[in-house]
Structure 1
């Protein structure tokens, strides 16, 4: 996903200004939360995930993208030997990757570019492949990738801007009419939402539901407030998504928080609460890049002794540690260099940490929306926590300043007595444990009003 020439390099070049631009966006409403009650990470573990960009069905995206990038930026891409790269990333490799991810519990986000590099639309045909091959590839994504990975469109083509009225690329070939560069500047929410909806609709037509979107390269970097609201509008319009999310930015070094940004919040006390969640990555692409460069390797993520590396830094802070990479670099023209690095990184993570929680981006987005937007009141005298939740959440985890009694969750007419766990590492929905003067409880948070009572 290049942006002169890649997302990682762009962010390194603009690190001094990116933070202020991120937070110029609109957070929206926030509820009152009793300061003595702490919302912890899900199951009191650290979320980890992998963002895979530039993936699609069959097409080796950047083999076909580079000549279009070169036409828009003459001289910049002349050094790439793109003609020697394979046309296809085969489904056998998708199966191999899916098998490994399932065996190791790995989850994340997997892009499906709907009209990859203008080669062909996935809901129609891709010249060079039969309809049977295309349908088989789509079915493979649905059956083997989707259970553990969110599907995102990475806009429409990842190259040229499509005229949504005609379905054809605009005739001008310049940074202004490439998805990776200047198109969003000065565009309205409606214009950007219309473009996103076009991409989402193609994936809907082939039976791949989405709760979020990924921006290719610099798409939206000069229209961040509009990008956030357009994501909400498009995902709500096409898929009726309750909590839309998007991936636009990453911080691959430094102390800047990489926790999700819950934005544009409104209607918390109504039947239609609204928000959009901006998911942030925490690494650069050190597995081979979109363009099959020499990778930094596993040590950039986590060293063999588990003592350093970007993932270690973020995990020790307790924030979601989300790796960013590109499908083309994972396959690396058939050499699978990025895939080998991934396997080593995951092996080291699992050997070093015992409190990781692999999650899809939609799961992280939902948790952060519930974490930040649930109103929390604590009656110290009666030892009752009252929760007003605009969104349900499967693994909601709280720390309450009490050491008396067994927690019981009450919602409308139902009630659930939690069972005691041996330690915080064993927390899962329906369990609680005590640590010194605090009680940790993990439970399914229902939408609406719930109470936690402590029974003698």
Structure 2
């Protein structure tokens, strides 16, 4: 009998990554201010490049993004089943620490933001640091800002303990407000030229701060390649690994600036045929979209948010009976791909059993068996037969022609499937 590990519940993972998000302040406003001040000090005769922002736009960029908008956005995501990853920059632009407050802004706004993070965003999105400031590198001894930048000089970061300590500090600040993060987000290309060392540092930090042996990191955005979920540093016997979440679609909502309006058609066109997403979905590969928090707000006009609503409506039309796609957190995708790659599966032909052994638990683990099976038990528990993909859920099995699909939550240790043909 041949066995294949399929996508969860035979559905392609969908996920939304939200970068540059932080309590109270609008990162874009401070990022452009600080970057242009750095240019004036170090490169006074070199005009800013496009990625460094347009200072003439600052007059239209508010320094804050209100908690009321976060509430509206998070409530809509919850009601519409959108899941993914949402950054919580611990010390945004050095303006204030998430675990100490923002002294130059109303206290009630800070507390409202934290409540929304915990109660509305966290149930649907992994919360991660996007390192410490997303602007200048912090001197951990003095907690002052240096002249180096997290997404410039630290694209090629130091590979000694400084990198690990930096990530530990970011994770600890979230943990101080009761948010143990599942992974991290790279500010810009932070760590890209030392990815192996970066992945190891994130894994070490995650184990140190949160006792989490299976974190993820988001670093790569690939517009013109097929996405994957690479697994680094696996230790099968110990259940240790780290996953790289790769996005296939860039920010075509409102940009990181909040003044570069995107277009829903770049994700998926109205006829559901064009754009970046349909060919990825047709190949049943993880479909991870990226947006930036200032772009969703779009200086109060919420234009990026409107594009998100359009994209979601088109994805719903693409999958009207919810049998093709499944919205997942980044951590859920990471855990599934770890289990997919690192679970040992043994077919016991004479006993009509399949034995699985893993240290990598995951929900909705789905197998395809190349035979029609009349009865399936998982660890002595009878699975229910269903007759359509719409009804295919955990603890069920589905026969299609000469194949049988089986779905269940995979737990640590041994799992036994007993089959009756």
Report the TM-score range of the alignment, normalised by the length of the smaller protein. Answer: over 0.9
- Aligned-pair CA distance for 1:136: 2.1
Q: Partners of 2:98 and 2:274 in 1: how far apart?
A: 42
Partner-residue secondary structure (3-state), 1:193: helix
Aligned residues: 408
CA contact (8 A) 1:189 1:230 kept: no
Alignment of 1:163-312 (within 5 A): 163-170=139-146, 173=147, 177-183=148-154, 185=156, 187-253=158-224, 256-266=225-235, 268-269=236-237, 272-312=238-278
Question: Are residues 189 and 421 of structure 1, via their aligned partners in 2, closer, same or farther at CA, if it must alter by over 3 Å?
Answer: farther
Match of 1:4 in 2: none
The worse-fitting range, judged by mean Cα deviation, of 212-221 and 372-381 is 372-381
**Structure 1: 5+ residue stretches without partners:** 1-33
TM-score by length of 2: 0.94
Q: Out of 432, 435, 441, which is 2:400 matched to?
A: 435
Match of 1:115 in 2: 91
CA contact (8 A) 1:189 1:229 kept: no
- Aligned-pair CA distance for 1:142: 0.5
Question: Are residues 369 and 72 of structure 1, via their aligned partners in 2, closer, same or farther at CA, if it must alter by over 3 Å?
Answer: same
CA contact (8 A) 1:179 1:216 kept: yes
Alignment of 1:99-138 (within 5 A): 99-138=75-114
Q: Out of 356, 362, 384, which is 2:325 matched to?
A: 356
- Structure 1 stretches of 4+ with a deviation exceeding 4 A read none
- Aligned-pair CA distance for 1:290: 0.6
1:91 paired with 2:60, answer no
Q: Partners of 1:82 and 1:156 in 2: how far apart?
A: 23
Partner-residue secondary structure (3-state), 2:242: strand
Q: Deviations over 1:254-310 (max 9, x none)?
A: xx33121111112x13xx221000000010111121112433300000000111111
**Structure 2: 5+ residue stretches without partners:** none
CA contact (8 A) 1:277 1:369 kept: yes
Q: Deviations over 1:378-429 (max 9, x none)?
A: 123433211011111121000012213311112xxxx211000112332111
Q: Partners of 1:332 and 1:374 in 2: how far apart?
A: 44
TM-score by length of 1: 0.87
Q: Partners of 1:37 and 1:189 in 2: how far apart?
A: 43
Q: Out of 107, 130, 143, which is 1:154 matched to?
A: 130
- Aligned-pair CA distance for 1:156: 0.2
Q: Partners of 2:29 and 2:7 in 1: how far apart?
A: 40
Q: Deviations over 1:343-402 (max 9, x none)?
A: 000000001113210110011111111111001111234332110111111210000122
CA contact (8 A) 1:383 1:453 kept: yes
Q: Partners of 1:320 and 1:140 in 2: how far apart?
A: 28
Match of 1:346 in 2: 312
Q: Deviations over 1:68-109 (max 9, x none)?
A: 222344421473322431111101101110111111100111
Q: Partners of 1:38 and 1:187 in 2: how far apart?
A: 41
CA contact (8 A) 1:44 1:425 kept: no
1:62 paired with 2:38, answer no
- Aligned-pair CA distance for 1:116: 0.6
- Aligned-pair CA distance for 1:435: 1.4
1:79 paired with 2:54, answer yes
Partner-residue secondary structure (3-state), 2:280: helix
CA contact (8 A) 2:60 2:299 kept: no
